[in-house]
Structure 1
Amino acid sequence: MKTQAPCLVSACLLGLCTRYDGRCKRNDACLDALAGRPYLPICPEQLGGLPTPRPAASILGGNGHDVLAARARVLDIHGRDLSAAFIQGARMTLALARMQRIELALLKADSPSCGSEAPGIGVAAALLAQAGIRIISF
């Protein structure tokens, strides 16, 4: 019997309290999509060294692709530039995905890291997409 390949999943969608505000964003539709499938929970912002809770952040001047190309920045609500942490978290997320041969990521919509809908794609989602990993938003 062939085992199903693992997928990445935003940790907050599983009910882990990794969101910027220290809360969880459990998503039953995401959990249903994971039924019987191995998965790897990730939080790119935590992997980038940011604490939980942390001030809310957003991408200014573009999207995640632009942040990766240094044409846009990620700023928190206090105006601090978090671009380096977001890029580091995206790179660590991709490294984990490659180690596990992951081809699918179930990610939190409307996130500066995990959001995947253009033009608002997040930094980690952009890097995963560039690497050919399919993304589904929840």
Structure 2
Amino acid sequence: MLLVSACLAGLKVRYDGGDCLHHTIEQLVSQNKATTVCPEVLGGLPTPRIPAEIIGGDGEDVLNGKAKVIDKSGNDVTDAFLQGAYQTLEIARELNVTHVILKENSPSCGSGMIYDGQFQGVKKVGKGVTAALLERNGMIVATDENIDDIIEYIEKQ
């Protein structure tokens, strides 16, 4: 079983109320080979919501208490991001998930790149809060940008 970002399956859970539909993900979900999660929604944030970025580091730093997740209006939403990450981890453990495909650039789900915290559309190397937590717990986290490689790898197992 794969765990995937809900927005990649076409669910309208992004901060702007939209999705990032990836047809391969949609197909995996419809075949019951993948389960969807949106850590931000699991953390209690509404859809749509004010965009948020990590200030002072990346998801690893948030988990270590050294950075915060702040929305564009200046509200500290760190607790919601942490709650969603831990709920996602719980779901992954219940399903015995080993591989996760998450939406790149997200402050929750980015596994290689996130926005730099200035709300100017600039990206930096780093992990989102959920991606960092899942990796800490031994899961292989992939991005929607290398989905074909991860699916090929999983199918060979």
The reply to whether TM is greater than 0.5 is yes
The aligned counterpart of 2:63 is 68
The aligned counterpart of 1:25 is 20
Q: Which runs of 5+ in 1 are unaligned?
A: 1-5
Larger helix percent: 2
Identity %, equivalent residues: 46
The aligned counterpart of 2:104 is 109
Bigger RCO of structures 1 and 2 (CA < 8 A, at least 6 apart)? 1
Give the partner amino acid of 1:137: T
Deviation by residue 1:92-132 (Cα, 9 ceiling, x = unmatched): 00000001100000100010000000632100000000001
Task: Map 1:76-87 onto structure 2 (within 5 A).
Answer: 76-87=71-82
The aligned counterpart of 1:16 is 11
Q: Where has structure 1 moved over 3 Å in runs of 4 or more?
A: 29-37
The aligned counterpart of 1:3 is none
Give the distance between the partners of 1:137 and 1:33, measured in 2 at CA. 15
Give the partner amino acid of 1:47: L
Give the partner amino acid of 2:96: R
SS of aligned partner of 2:86: helix
Give the distance between the partners of 2:24 and 2:94, measured in 1 at CA. 26
The aligned counterpart of 1:135 is 141
Give the distance between the partners of 1:86 and 1:27, measured in 2 at CA. 24
Q: How many residues align?
A: 133
Instruction: For residue 29 of structure 1, report the CA deviation from its aligned partner.
Output: 4.7
Q: Which runs of 5+ in 2 are unaligned?
A: 114-124, 145-157
Give the distance between the partners of 1:29 and 1:117, measured in 2 at CA. 21
Deviation by residue 1:6-43 (Cα, 9 ceiling, x = unmatched): 11000000010000010111023544676856211000
**Normalised by the size of structure 2, how large is the TM-score?**
0.80
1:120 alignment partner, one of 122, 126, 132: 126
